Each structure stands twice: as structure tokens, then as C-alpha cells.
Structure 1
Amino acid sequence: MDRKAYTAKLAALRELRAEIGAAEKAVADAQRALGRLGQERGRRVMELAAYEGAKADAIAKAGGLSVGDVVRIAPLLDPTPPGARVVRADDRGAAAVPAPAPPDQTPPAVETAVAVAPAPTRPAAAVEQPPVPAPDAAAAPAAAAVAAATAPAARETEPGVQADSSAAAPVVVQGQVRVLPHIPQGPAGDRFAAVTSGLVSTRPNFVQQPRVTVFLDAATGDLVAREYTLRLDLGAKSPGEILDAVLAAAPGTERVYVTAGAPWHEGAERYSTLKDAVAAWLHTPSQRWTTATGRGRDKLAGHFVHQRQPVGRYAPAAAPDGAMVEIRWVGEWFDADGADPALCRDAFRLLWQALRRHWDDVVLMGSPSQTGRDLWTRTIPTKGKWAGGYPVMSEELRALLHATGGQGRSELMVPPRVPERLPGLVEFDATFAYGKQTWKSGVGAPRRVTARAFAAMDEGAQAKALMACSHWHVRVTVPAGWEHVGLLPAPVPGERAWEYPATGGATFTTWAGGAEVHLALTNHLMPWRIEVLDGLVWEDGKPLDDWAKRLKAAWADLTNLSTLHGDERQRTAAYLASRAVRSILLFGIGGFAQRPRTVGGSTPVGEPLPAGVEILGQDDRLVTWQRSTGFSRDPNAHPEWAARVWSGARTALLSMRMREDDVMVGALHLPPASIVAFRTDAIYTTADVTWPYHGQPGEFLKKGHLPGPVPAPATLDELLALRDLGRAHFARGGER
């Protein structure tokens, strides 16, 4: 470049600077105009919200907003169960008034706190102040000011420990509050203890059609289709390039399981989150492929954006209503852990053969959850009381269970609850834990048990109600002098987030399964004080028992094969297949919970987006998004079953009697200061105890032992690192 060219380019750069400045000014003007329009839209939403029959979804659609946006502008339009929301204090310290605790049926002057007493040693009932009634709209600002003035200052607590609070106070952490929903009185409450009209789980009258499936190592390009292996050129590993290569080598393919390579993480460093990277990969433009819209009985459509287990669903762009091809991660079924595609194919083959012994019409569907629920429908009885199928709970009750039926316990104790230096770390993992909890589940419409009705029961009737399939709204007080881990979950800010208060005197309000509440009352250390506010009790039934027994039999067959087969590769394949059976039961139970469904899609830049979407990412061509479609009329939605299994598993993690050995096992039977962490069905402890193990579901297997001293983990990653070291040390024969 000479001097003349340099001067010319400088002049051109100045012109560009002027253009950029003008564009920035235009953007600023547009943003100000957009802000004014947004304020006007908010004002109009507030006007519409004043109408008695206003609905959040209708206003959202008219205003181009999500329902969540409308609710944030006009909280009275919140369609979720009352109180199931997060409230934040603003910068000036004014606190929003949380939804009050639900009143029971006692006279308005006092509220009788029923200290549940199945055992003779229970503390006597106490009398407390009634909950504050809900303020009306006009009184809300004054009530907020009073709440701000009288609320105790939030203080930091140890992880997993609830700060002391009044009996009626919601859980508060760093200015946030999350209050769980309750069942209202009157006709609105009656709808909770009901079933959905015309919606019943029935045995299918059709056979699922298998899909042609291949297994692909995206790192090497190795493809296993039927009985042959090929190496493909996957180019830049975009979805379109992968599908082009796979379909050219194996025409007719309908499902691709990626066994290694995770192509959706390619270039992830360019994105702020891993989810953004996955979304961008799934929606990478292709001339030959477009997002599938579902077909036949398979109503799934669009991609599923997940950080580690995404699902891409594609159709030929020339015939978008044609055959759909899925790209999935084999890790949905089991951890391949370096297994090649041929070994993964063999694992699926063994899985199908093991299940075929128990279901003549078994078809392996895309995910363990889909497969599990399909197999369950084929065990629905054709005789007896439930021959016509199992009724689905009301939408109100399903929403309540979604908000209050937590899953596995995940908790990490950090110093000073545990020493800075641990004398060692032992891992006990409950084998096939959920498989032990499927022998009983609630069926039919539940019976509501109010606080007054519960108080009127004798101790035997109270114990029977708690030990039935039940779900309870309770106010809990940790006894003074309690030195062990927490027993009942308390809500903390964040969707479906829980902690387990263990500080003596801590009081909180929560929902819990009957088994957990009963354990809190009858544990061998010290009974907790429980005040029943409300409850739902189902008729005991066995809707999952036959399904689970068949799965456990298949799991046992494959587990035995994984130790007895003479060929090492087949032993590994059988082990992977046994893990897949575990996933079918585990995720099948999770599928019964029927969370609000999320669908995703993409829209060309400049075109209007669908109402209520969350933008996941954008490039120069497409805006990728997702949105929740709420609860569907799913005939197989049974969150009451999932909640009972999860509650039973959390209870067994704390205390369980091994009948054959007459031995009590679980965290409560370990020294209090020895518990380091819980992870769903695993206990991490410094106590090296010897518990019986026969390889049956629910029994605790010692899987790792790391001799100390070791630093106490402060994060989940640190815990997992110590776990891996402990497993490796234990596998080498150390500290058995």
C-alpha cells in the first residue's frame, strides 16, 4: 500500500465513522421510541387487568408479550396456583407481600397447631396466631410498607440450613422469597381433589413402529448401520452435513444416535452459555433440511434444546411433511464412556431382547422416558376396578404437584458443618433406588384432609393417613438440640429448588410426602414438630407394580449377563443395557410428572415472533426461540405417582430397614457430622460402615473410598472430583 492509497482509505474510514454515528443515533432514537411504546403498552395492560374477566393469555397474545411478561406487569393475572412465584425486594427496600399461608378450618380467633402424634411421645398441640389474611388491592402498598418495616433482616446461612423465621413466614434468602401454593377453600379447592373429565390412561390398541436406527461416532466419523461399519466425512459437523452423509451411506435412516463427539458443542466458546451453543447448532441453516413438524402418532415437533442431551428433529426441505430424522445423544440411555458405535448397537440389541421376554410388542423409542411410558401403558389392567384405565388428576392438582413434588435430594455440606479436612470420603449408592418405591401408588381422585379433619383423627388414623399415598401441606419446626441432617425439604428461590433446614428452632412451611412427614415424627433420634395445614390422600393401588417388576427382572438378567458372559465386549454391552433399563424406569417415572412442555423453533430475522417465546439466540438469518405450551391433555400424566416415588426414595436415603438382615441403614444411622453430601440416591460420608448388600433394588452399595485427609469439597465439581478419585482407589482394591 502506497501513501496515496493509505490517505484514501483513511478518508473512507472517516465516512464510515460518520455512517456509524448516524446509525447509532437512529438506534438510540428507536430505543427511546420503543421505550415509550413499551410504557404505553404496560399502561394499557394495567387498564385491561382491571377488568374482572381479564385473562393473562389473551392480553399476552394481543400485546405480543409472554404470559410471564403480563404477570410481571399485572401480578393479579397470574394463572399459576396462588403463591407459587418468586418475589424480589426492590432497591429501596420495599418488600412485596407474599401470598399468605392458607387458613384452615378453625375459628378465626385462634389457629390450632396440630402437632401430629402417631407415637405416644409426641409433644402436645400448641396454639399460635392465625395467618395474616390476604390484603386487598387497595391495601397492598400499605401492607408492603409494614412488611418492609417489620421483616427481619435477611442473613446468610450455611448451605442447606434454613434461617430462623416465624411460623407463617415464607422462606427468604438474600431479599428473595418463594412461597409454595396452597389449596384454597370452597369450590376452587374442590377442583384440586378431582380428576379431569374424559381423560383416562388406557391400554393402547396399536403397536409402535420401530425406526431404522444407526450409531455414529461424530469424533471419528465411524457409522454402524445394521451389520456394517463405515467411516464418513462429516464436514463441519453441522446437522445438515451429518444427515447428508448418514443418509447417503444408510438410506432410510430415521434415528441417529451420536455415541461420541458431541458435535453440538463445536465452537461453544463463541457463545455466552452452552445452551446458546446447542441452540445455534440445532438451528444451523441447511438447504436440504428443515425443522420437522411431527407425523402420525408421534406428535413431537421441533428441536429440544438441552446443554448435554439435545434432540434435533429434521425433515427434508423439499418435503417437510415427509419422513422425520432424529439426531440424539446416546447418553440419554447410558454413559457410553468410550464405547464404540458397534458396542452401543450391541447394547441396544441386548436391551431389546431382555425386554422382549416381558413385552411381546416392545419397541425401543427415541428416549428412555418415551419407551418407559409406552411399556407402562401395555401393563394397564384389562380386568378389575381399573380395567377402564386410570383417571388423570385435575389440572389444578397437576400444577400443584409440579410446584411442590421435588425430585431427588441434592445437598452439599460445607465447613463448619463438616471439618475443613475430611478424614476420608466414602460413597454409598442406592442400587436402582426408584425401583424399590414402585410397589404402591395412589389411584383415583384424592380425599382432601383439612387441618381440622386431621386434628379430629386419633393417633392410629393419623399414622394410617400419613403412611397412605399422600401429599401434605405442613408447617415444620426443627426441634431444639437437633444435630443431624435436615429431614424435610423447604423451598428456596429458583424454580423447583429446595434445601433441608437442620438448625434447631428453624420453622418453615412446605409440602412433603406422607412417608417423609411420618419419618420426621417417628425417627429414632428426636421427633420433629409438624403442624398439618392440609393434605391429599389417595386410595392405595399398584398401577406401577407390574411394569416395574418386569423392568427389574430385565435389569437382573442383564446384570447377571454382565458378570457371567465369556466375552468381554458382550459383558460390557450387557452392562450398558442394564443401565438403559435403569434409565427406562428412572425417566419413565419422571415422564409421569408431565411438566409444562417446551417447544422450540426458528424465525427469519425481521419476521414477527410467535407470542410468549424466549429468545435463545440470533444470527444474521434466524432468531431461535423456545416457549412453554403449558400442561397438555396427556392421558398418561400422573404426577401423583412420580411425587410418591421421589418422596419414598428421599425417605429411604435417610432411614430404611433391611428386613432380611433386620438392620437399619441410611444417613440417620451415621454419625451426624459425618455426612458430606447427598446426590439423589447416593450418600457421601466420612464414616466407613459395613451395611449388608445383596444386589437388590434400594440397597446401599459401597462404590468408592478415598482415604484422608482430603479437603472438604466446596462445590459440586470438587465433590465429583473426589468421588472419581475414591472410585478409582476402591476399584484398585484400596480400603475395602
Structure 2
Amino acid sequence: MDAQSYSAALADLRTVRDQIKRIRAVLTKQEADRDKLIIQLASYPKAKAERIAPAAGLGVADVVALAPALAPDSLAVNDVLQPAAEPSAIQATPEVVPSPPPQAAAVPTMTAAAARPAPPKAPVEPAAPPAPTAPQAPRDLPSIPAGASGDAWLALTPGLASTRPNFTQQARSTVFLDTTAGILVHRNQTHHLDLAGRSAADLLTAVFHTVPDGVERIYITAGDPWHQGADRHPYLRDAVAAWLNAPTPGWRTDTGRGRDRMAGHFVHARNPVGRYQRENSEEHVEIRSVGEWFDVDGDDPHIVRDAFVLLWQALRRHWNDAVLMGSPSQTGRDLWTRTIPTRGEHADGFPVLSEELRGLLHATAGQGRNELITPPRVPEQLPQLVEYDRTFAYAKHTWKSPVGTPRRITAQTFAAWSEKEQTRALYRCGHWQIRVTVPDTWNHVGILPAPAPGERAWHYPAAPGTMFTTWAGGPEVHTALTNPLTPWKIEILDGILWDDGKPLDDWAKKLKEAWTNLSAQAHFQGDPQQARAAHLASRAVRSILLYGIGGFAQRPRMVTGTTPRTAERDVPPNAEIIGFDDELITWQKPTGFSRDPNAHPEWAASIWSGARAALLTQRHRDDNTYAGALHTEPGTVVAFRTDALYLTAPQHWPHHNQPGDYLLKGYLAGPVTAPTTEEDLLALRDAGRTALTQNGGQA
């Protein structure tokens, strides 16, 4: 291509850009007109969501979200299944429920019939909380206290709300360092460093000798220097803590400053953060892993630098004050605050829930589903192993989130409602304490999470007749009641209900557009290095959304510190010792919830629930089909891993490179020995991805 053709192509590109903007404007107006028509149709007394939905090209849930009065009278089946054979039974009087039988060790594999009958409607039963029984697992989930003390949990935290910032973030001077090759990239310059023993002190000395004007952030692109001496420690975290807390002459641990700074080092097995301040100076610096943003595969620091430049440029198209902060989580939440409206209903910000309710959500709303299904529930020799990964999955579930002051819905309140009111409530943003019974004829994977031994462990009971009590979000309750096989029995014990809102919609749309543009650059870019940089930048956008959502969950904070061995009595009494050497004791202790104005675990819980439900069943409207684990034959699901599904047979699920689509990620021809540990699964995953790449992406 010569200069003339290059200029002509640029002109064509601008024309296409303008056409896209015009088409998008038209589409936005048409969608608004469609929504107005739906609301207008809802005023007709005999209007039904199941008739309006196909006319609008939407699902029933989408129509009900626009016009709540159109909620169907029951949650029997979705809008493409045949009508149920029996009416739904909603009992006003709770039944007496016997103690759950012990769960069977395995669910026998059964072959599904070619044509399944339409499932009967599921009973949704209000019930009083069960009488105390012998614990079924070491971990019990909390409940909201009865009476006024429990009602107080629903009050918002006074004087604490997410508001739009009135300041501009400051960019930090950043360098990229390969500690294996000793290559430092600073802006457009490349330097070769002698890192000596690769300790934190060696890195700081070499970098600040090379860039005397000052650096505020050092990204490690390769080498993982904090894993030095790992063989001398029982756990990798101990090696990381030792590296971070080793003496750094001329420097001390940063104690924190400013709006976006956190005090002290962050000990993490693979992506730690070292925070240092020069003694007798205001000079601060962070040492971080670029692995927080994306996985590198031998990429040199120049490509990583270019990826960050492309990322910043992509975000600047949507936020004129966008700044890349130290982590994708910090960046995501900062960008979100800059989408908080300055006018309208939420101009005063989004209030923060009470600490008690945040604690309840922390304890009862898990994140991704991670489950390995082992023989005899799957064959010992798998005919093949196929990996499907949901593309940019969480971006699919940000269109609706809970807002406003929550309401408590007790079993008695739920029982007093009509069936239509109960159904409408389960369509809305809520978090429900439920008692679950697995159908006697069930022969597939579990649907609802139940607490398992361990601080935050969950499992998914699937044995027929199993009963358990748990908390679940609306999407998972919907799936249990309307799944394409057999409805589960759900009893409402307690619940929290919010108004439906869109606090994350604008933020997520901008990130999705940035991701789409960077993905297109990676696909069409002729320069392999720039194509790779664009791919890494698209992965960074994914991390911004993924970890930004995780940041809303605002887990109770854990502080890490050190105490000299000679002052062992000064270790805080409630601290856990996580490592020690001849000089220092390293400890950590919980500090509870901070007064974080951007703490919204209700948003994270809603998105995670939707993502777990979509692993089981997800409708593709444009293709008029469904995808997910419950649309496979029983006995073919091997594992769930956050956004990924591992099966023993390929599926013909549509993939249009849209958020939530199932992408074929790996394929291993059989026979394959069924994995029995996470290490086995990860080894097979890596082998399957390599094999698929070598086969040109074809299973």
C-alpha cells in the first residue's frame, strides 16, 4: 500500500464510521419506540407477555422488565416450550417437611429420550423457616434475624453513597520490566538492566538509576521475581511475602496516600503488589504483575507497552478523562463512577447497603461455578473432551441490577401474595432464602448452589430427593423452576427485593464497545505484533469489567503486616501468622468492611447469579435455540469452571462473537481418562486448547 491508497482507505474508513454512527442512532430510536409500544400494549387488560415477546423480538423476562404488570401468572415454562400439563400449586399454608435424606454418592447416567415431554409446572411454596436439625455440612449460611432487629438490616448506611467524582485522576509514570532478560521499556526507550539477585531492592535500585526522573509504577512482564526461593517455603504465598518484606535500603513500605492508594504490600501467590516509599521523601512506587490484566505468553515488554497504549486509547473514546490505574479492578470502578448520572433519579448517587446486609451477601452469594464431576457420574474413559467458554460472559448480565432501598419479603408476606404477585417478585432483582428439593426423577447436573465445607465453598446437589436450604438469586430460581427437563420444588423462606435499575448499563456498554473494537483490530491488523497487542488490550478490557464487578462485592478487608521476631508479643492478638523467617513474622488479620462508597455487593451477586444460570440454559433469540449444560445429554457434563463448560461431545451452539456466546476453546479426541482432580482438568484443558489450535480450530 502506498501513501495515496493509504489516505484513500482512511477516507473510506471515516465514511464507514459515520454510517455506523447514523445506523446506531436509528437503532437506538427504534428500540426506544419498541419499548414505548410494549408499555402501551401493557395497558390492555388482556395483554400477555408471552404474545408480546415474539412480536417484539424479546424474551418474556425482557418484556416483564419493561412492563411488570405483564408478569405471567406462574413460572411454569419459558416461552418456547409447550404449555404445562398441570396447574401450578402455590400453597398458602406451609407443609411439614421431613429432614433431608442423605445425598447419594453418585447419580447414574441415563439416556434421554429423543423427544422430552413438556415439564409440569413447579410448585413455589411459601414456608416458615425449618426447625433446627442436625447440620448437613460444617458451614451454615446466615439468616436475617426475625423482627425489628432483622428489619434494621434493610436500612441503608447513613451518609454513604456512590457519587460522581469531582476530580481528575492523575496518570502515573509507568515502566515495563522483563526480569528474566533484564529489559526495561520506558515510553519509547529500551534499556538493559543488571538486576543482580532480582530482589525488590535490586529492582528499585536498577530502575531508578536508569530512569532518574522517577517512576510510580513498575509492571513485571516476565520472570516472577517474587517466586525466588519458593523451594525454601511450604507455600508460594510464603515465598511472595518473604520477597516483599525483605530489606530495601533507602525504601520503606508505603503507608498510603491520596484517593486511589492502598497501604502496605498485597500478598498474592501469583499477582502480588509491592508498595514502597523512599525514606525521607514523597517518592512512591508500586511493583505489580501485568498478569492482573492479561496472561502473557512470552510477549516482550514492548508488546505489553503497546497493549496498554491501545487500551488507553480505546477507553478515551468513551471517557475523555480515562486513566489506567494500577489494577483492572481500580480502573473499572473509577470508570464506573464517571458514568453516574448528574441529573435525574440517581443524581445524588447510589446508596450503600447496611454492613449487616453486605455481610449477608458476602456469605451467601458465591461467584463462579467450579465443579468437577467424576466417575461414576461420568465414564472413566471419556469418548472425547470438549471445552466451551462463554465469551466476555459477565458483560451479558449487566443490563439490569438492583437499586434503591431493599425490602424484606418474609415467608408470611410471600404467602399472602397472589400467584401473579409471587411470580412477578421472582422476575425482579432479589436474593432468596429457599428450601430446595431435587426431583425424584432427576438425572442431570445440579442447578442450585448449596454450602459445602470451607469458608466460601459451594457444591451443587443433584441426587434425586435431596433437600437443602440455601440462598440464590432470581436467575437461578427461574432456572430451577422453568428448566427444560423437570421443575424443581422451591419453598420461599425469606427474601430481599429491590427495584430493577440500570446502574451498570452505560458503563458496560462502553466497555463492550471498546472490547469489540480492540477484538476487530486484533483480527484485521496486518502487523503480527500490533495484532497481538490489540488482543492483549481486548483481554484487559475484559479484566476491567470482570474485576470491576468483583470490586463491587467489597469483601471484608485483610491487612498484611510484619513484626520483628524479637517483638513477637506485638503481633496483633487476632492475627493469623502466615510466614516467618529468622528476622520477621508475617501475619494477616481481617478488618471488616471499610466505609467504601462504591460497595455494592448486590450488583455483583446479581451478575454472578445470572452467569451461573446461563451455564445451564441460555436462549439465543436470533437463532431461536438454547445452549448450556441442561441442553446436553445426561452424563456428558464433566466440569464447570467459572465461564467454561467441559463436555464429552461437541455441540452445535451458535457463536457470533457476542458477549455470552459459547466459544469452542479446546478439543481432545478420545479416549480420555476422566479427570479426578483440578490439576488433571487443567492439564487436559491445556492439551485440548493446543490440539484445537494445531487442528485449525476444528473439533
TM-score, reference length from structure 2: 0.82
Distance 1:172 1:431 in 2: 39
| CA distance in 2: counterparts of 1:462 and 1:117, whole angstroms | 8
Q: 1:213 aligns with which of 174, 190, 197?
A: 174
The Cα of 1:323 is off from its aligned counterpart by 2.1
1:277 alignment partner in structure 2? 239
Instruction: Report the alpha carbon displacement of residue 711 of structure 1 after superposing the two structures with TM.
Output: 0.3
SS of aligned partner of 1:178: coil
CA contact (8 A) 1:212 1:254 kept: yes
1:245 to 195, 200, 206: 206
Q: Which residue of 2 aligns with 1:198?
A: 159
Q: 1:484 aligns with which of 444, 448, 471?
A: 444
Checking the alignment, whether the CA contact within 8 Å between 1:171 and 1:492 is kept in structure 2 is no
Runs of 4+ in structure 1 off by over 3 angstroms are 120-131, 151-161, 166-173
Gaps of 5+ in 1: 1-115, 132-150
Alignment partners' CA distance in 2, 1:155 and 1:676: 19
- Residue by residue over 1:303-327, the C-alpha shift from the partner in whole angstroms, topping out at 9 and shown as x without a partner, is 00111111110111343xx222101
Give the counterpart letter for 1:486 in structure 2: G
Instruction: Name the counterpart of 1:118.
Output: 75
Q: Is the contact made by 1:291 and 1:601 (CA closer than 8 Å) also made in structure 2?
A: no
- Letter in structure 1 aligned against 2:75: P
Q: Secondary structure at the match of 2:176?
A: strand
2:23 matched to which residue of 1?
none
Q: 1:720 aligns with which of 682, 693, 699?
A: 682
Letter in 2 for 1:255: R
Q: Deviations over 1:588-635 (max 9, x none)?
A: 000000001112222222221234222222222222222211101100
Q: Does residue 553 of structure 1 match 2:513?
A: yes
Going from structure 1 to structure 2, the CA distance change for 1:410 and 1:555 (only over 3 Å counts) comes to: same
- For 2:491, the equivalent position in structure 1 comes to 531
2:472 aligned with 1:515: no
Letter in 2 for 1:180: L
Indicate if the aligned counterparts of 1:454 and 1:532 stay in contact, CA closer than 8 A.
yes
The residue identity in structure 1 corresponding to 2:336 is W
Q: Which residue of 2 aligns with 1:389?
A: 349
Determine the C-alpha separation between the residues in 2 that align with 1:298 and 1:654. 38
Secondary structure at the residue paired with 1:300?
Answer: coil
How big is each residue's C-alpha offset from its partner over 1:251-300, in whole Å with a ceiling of 9 and x where there is no partner? 21111000111011111010011111111111001222211001122340
Distance 1:680-1:279 versus aligned 2 partners, 3 A rule: same
C-alpha spacing 1:721/1:159, structure 2 compared with 1 (3 Å): farther
Please give the secondary structure, in 1, of the residue aligned with 2:685. helix
Q: Tell me the residue number matched to 1:333.
A: 293
CA distance in 2, matches of 1:124, 1:618: 59
- 1:158 is displaced (CA, Å) by 5.2
Q: Which residue of 2 aligns with 1:691?
A: 653
Q: Secondary structure at the match of 2:440?
A: coil
Aligned match of 2:386? 426
Q: 2:544 aligns with which of 569, 578, 584?
A: 584
Give the one of 429, 432, 456 matched to 1:496. 456
Q: 1:300 aligns with which of 256, 262, 266?
A: 262
- Whether the aligned pair in 1 keeps the contact of 2:100 and 2:466 (CA below 8 Å) is no
| 1:178 aligned to which of 133, 136, 139 | 139
Specify the alignment match of 2:184 in structure 1: 223
Amino acid at match of 1:501: P
Equivalences for residues 70-85 of structure 1 within 5 A = none
Q: Which amino acid aligns with 1:379?
A: T
**Rounded Cα–Cα distance in structure 2 between residues aligned with 1:341 and 1:254:** 17
Residue 334 of structure 2 corresponds to 374
TM-superposed CA distance for 1:372, in Å, is 0.1
| Alpha-carbon distance in 1 for matches of 2:219, 2:107 | 39
Q: Is the 8 A contact 1:118 1:462 kept in 2?
A: no
Equivalent residues in 2 for 1:145-156, closer than 5 Å: none
Contact 1:474/1:509 (<8 A) preserved = yes
Residues 268 and 158 of structure 1: CA distance in aligned 2, closer, same or farther (over 3 Å): farther
Q: Which residue of 1 aligns with 2:361?
A: 401
The answer to whether the 8 Å contact 2:141/2:364 transfers is: yes
| Other structure's SS at 1:258 match | strand
Q: Decide whether the 8 Å contact of 1:160 with 1:413 is kept in 2.
A: no
Q: Deviations over 1:543-585 (max 9, x none)?
A: 0000000000000000000011110000000000000000000
Matched AA of 1:189: G
Q: 1:640 aligns with which of 602, 621, 632?
A: 602
User: For 2:146 and 2:278, how far apart are their aligned partners in 1?
Assistant: 53
Supply the AA of the counterpart residue of 1:610. Answer: P
Report the Cα offset of residue 478 of structure 1: 0.3
Shift in CA distance, 222/351, structure 1 to aligned 2, threshold 3 Å: same
Task: Please tell me the residue identity of whatever aligns with 2:251.
Answer: W
- 1:168 positional shift: 5.6
Encode CA deviations 1:122-175: one digit per residue, 9 max, x unaligned.
Answer: 4564854489xxxxxxxxxxxxxxxxxxx99988945999xxxx97677957xx
Residues 257 and 520 of structure 1: CA distance in aligned 2, closer, same or farther (over 3 Å) = same
Aligned partner of 1:657: which letter? R
> How many residues are treated as equivalent by the alignment?
594
Residue 543 (structure 1) aligned with residue 503 (structure 2): yes
Match of 1:665, as an amino acid? A
CA displacement at 1:240 relative to structure 2: 1.1
Report the alpha carbon displacement of residue 444 of structure 1 after superposing the two structures with TM.
Answer: 1.0
Q: Is the 8 A contact 2:101 2:465 kept in 1?
A: no
Structure 2 counterpart of 1:682: 644
Any residues of structure 2 matched to 1:657-676 within 5 Å, and which? 657-676=619-638
Q: Does 1:309 align with 2:271?
A: yes
* CA–CA distance in structure 1, aligned partners of residues 521 and 235 of structure 2: 41
Label 1:431 to 1:577 Cα distance change in 2 as closer, same or farther (>3 A).
same
Q: CA deviation at 1:493?
A: 1.2
Please report the RMSD computed on the Cα atoms of aligned residues, expressed in angstroms.
2.1
Residue type of the partner of 2:692?
Answer: F
Structure 2 equivalent of residue 624 of structure 1: 586
**CA distance, structure 1, for counterparts of residue 563 and residue 104 of structure 2:** 44
Partner of 1:289: 251
Q: Percent identity?
A: 61
Contact kept? 2:100, 2:467, Cα under 8 Å: no
- TM-score, reference length from structure 1: 0.78
Give 1:226 deviation, angstroms: 1.1
SS class of match (2:665): strand
Q: Amino acid of the residue matched to residue 154 of structure 2?
A: A
Q: Distance in 1 between matches of 2:546 and 2:283?
A: 30
- Is the 8 Å Cα contact of residues 170 and 178 (structure 1) preserved in structure 2? no
